[in-house]
Amino acid sequence: MRHKPAQIEFNDPLAVEMRAEFLPVVNQDKNALFSFNIALPMLRRGELRGLIILEAKANNESYRPDEIEVLAYTAHQIGHDLDGLQIQYLKAEGAIQMKHYEMAELKILEQQKTIDHLQVAFRQISI
- In the chain, where the domains are located: 13-96
Residue 43, class by beta-carbon neighbours within 10 Å (0-12 exposed, 13-18 middle, 19+ buried)?
A: buried
Q: Is the pLDDT of residue 114 over 90?
A: yes
d(C-alpha 42, C-alpha 52), whole Å: 7
Length of the chain in terms of residues written: 127
Is the pLDDT score of 20 beyond 80?
Answer: yes
Instruction: Indicate left, alpha or beta for 46 from its phi (over 0: left) and psi (-120 to 50: alpha).
Output: left
Q: What does the radius of gyration of the chain's CA atoms come to, in whole angstroms?
A: 28
pLDDT per residue over 22-52, tens digit each? Answer: 888 887 654 456 677 888 998 877 788 888 8
With a cut of 60, say whether residue 103 has pLDDT above it. yes
